[in-house]
Chain A
Amino acid sequence: MLKASKVHFCVKQRPIVEQISLEINPGEILAVLGPNGAGKSTFFKILSGEIKCKHGNVGYNGHSIESLKPKELAAIRAVMPQHSQVNFPFTVQEVVELGLISTKSNDPVKLIAEVLDATNTSHLKSRVFNSLSGGEKQRVQLSRVLVQIWETKPFPRYLLLDEPTSSLDIAQQHAVLSILQTLKSRNIGILIILHELNLAAQYADKIALIKNGAMTKMGIIEDVLNEKILENVFDHPIRLIQNPATGRLIVASGAHSYSTLATSKQA
């Protein structure tokens, strides 16, 4: 289990993350949603171990994050940050192989082939990373991250993703989230920051809403997807409608045609 309890983080006396606690079990997808600047990314960095946090605890499988060396941590959790830049002309193959830099694999060739297949990037293998399109880059980075935790281990692993779908078209967004769903059966727990409420509604098991650094609501889809709650978090009128094709709820803006931030706040 990935467990964060009472995580609190201030910058210049101002709380960025306020007393957030959450748990992610293997085989579960937790989507973290919230307006821009809510503190999602800071909280994400605390979970990944990138930022050390004085108040509160983060624990992976019962081990406190401070007690884990970077190498041990890398075997338990993989992280996909929002933007990754590669400054030298590495090939896709080289980038993806790097995912294995500190984890051992019995059959790295097969492992990498499987992951490239899953993310539909096999055909890019010998291309130079920097020559790829934004969407391709994101899928290659996802492959690198997946390689790190793909193989089944005697302990559960975790995957943290910060807006992995930001430069993907609708088909690829769903493709990526479908891949993440297949990871559940690999004893992997997933935390994903998303901006697209509908993706969360369709693929997540639980949703956490964060506003102004604090957790507003966390729970299963049915509990969280509520017009009042969402309106309150995003300061924007929200309507939930049923998708005639799937029967699932769709989150739509309830604002009238050309609403601006100012008018939507009044509403």
Chain B
Amino acid sequence: MISNLNHTKVQSQNLTLIGFGVVLIVVLLTSLSLGAYSIPFPQTLAILFDYIGLKLGTFEVQQANVLLQIRLPRIIMAVVVGGGLGIAGAALQGMFRNPLVEPGLIGVSSGAALFAVIFIVLVPVASSLAWIRPLGLPLFAFVGGLINVLAVYSLSKSQGRNDAATLILAGVAINALTGALIGLVLFFADDSALRNFTFWSLGDLAGANWSKIPVSMILISVPSILLLLNSRQLNALALGEQEAFHMGVNVQRVKIQLLLFSALIVGTGVSMAGMIGFIGLVVPHLIRILFGSDHRLVLPGSFLLGAILLNFADLISRIVVIPAEMPIGVITALIGAPFFIWLIFNLNKSKN
């Protein structure tokens, strides 16, 4: 009913999303073609079209192997994880009514990391239980993320108010505790687990392969779609929880859904690609600054922009120190932070 209320607005929202989609495709194609082993752009297209049965040009088998077996799964993973972090960040910011909230800040990432580390130590690759790893690791990480976000949420609400200071303090405390527990678990871990963890803690997409894609796609895209269905409720929550209830939103149920879905997305993302900071904070901000706060745009826009930014960061991490790779978390923060500061200052200036 409301959706056709303002045609021009809906149209401009759709245009914005289509624009993001186009940029994403361009970034993906560029990312496919560039890297330690460079594949010229025409060949990249030829390989992709050949894959779906269309002859477009010639290419070498090795090119096709690199592209299809190494780069494509990695890029799909970056889309899913980056998009997931973006949309989960947007949903959590909306739910907490606080633009400072980020999966890292409120403990979702560290909780997921703790449980992932526990899982990795408890279920080594070589063990007889190794078959449950593909699904077990993300689900275990999800539980850890959920425990932490519930703890932070109830701590921040304990005085009956939901102010930013208590929320951040609760996040800091829970993160410190979780960090200590991770250290404790690592104390009992062997060398290879330790080395894995070091890379993984800064974010690492290099482990992406086709076997991980189905699980991560399902565990991230399904809750992302479910988050999208809550966009209008998030808009109502932005006016306040009481106000949302007055307007007929079942606040308790919506909040539980938002927490569950976000924790599932972040838990899966963390278990697949490690702790990639910054995306969940910056992306929803950028969308709000550029296109307004309506969550019907902020949520899908954050997914697309998150996917774009993580792919862009991944591309850079693969090409700056060829043949080595820079940890992706370093790139997201190195590029993201200054850009973000610049943006905040400039937009505030232009508004006043």
Task: State the A residues within 8 Å of B (CB).
Answer: 48-50, 69-75, 78-79, 81, 84-91, 93-95, 97-105, 108-109, 112, 144-145, 148
Contact = CB atoms under 8 A, between A and B. Distances in A.
B324 to A, nearest CB: 41
B6 to A, nearest CB: 7
A109 B5 contact: yes
Q: Which range holds the interface residue count of chain B?
A: 20 to 34
Given A86-B239, A100-B1, A74 B293 contact: no
Contacts, number: 90
Interface of B is mostly: loop
A97 to B, nearest CB: 6
A101 B238 CA distance: 13
Nearest to B249: A70
Interface string B270-304: 00000000000000000010001110000000000
B187 to A, nearest CB: 41
Interface string B232-243: 110110111011
B246 interface: yes
B198 interface: no
30 contacts: A49-B245, A69-B250, A70-B245, A70-B248, A71-B250, A72-B248, A73-B248, A74-B246, A75-B248, A81-B242, A81-B243, A84-B239, A84-B243, A86-B238, A87-B98, A88-B94, A88-B99, A90-B238, A91-B292, A94-B235, A94-B294, A100-B2, A102-B247, A102-B248, A102-B249, A105-B1, A108-B1, A108-B5, A109-B5, A145-B246
Interface in B1-52: 1-2, 5-6
A87 B99 contact: yes
Contact of A101 (B5, B97, B99, B247): B247
Nearest to A112: B5
The residue among B1, B2, B97, B246 with the most chain A CB atoms within 10 A of its own CB is B246
Contacts of B233: 101
The residue among B232, B245, B248, B251 with the most chain A CB atoms within 10 A of its own CB is B248
Nearest to B240: A84
Given A50-B242, A101-B236, A108-B1, A90 B292 contact: yes
Contacts of B98: 87
The residue among A93, A101, A103 with the most chain B CB atoms within 10 A of its own CB is A101
Nearest to A93: B6
A50 B245 contact: yes
Contact of A71 (B5, B94, B248, B294): B248
Contacts of B250: 69-71
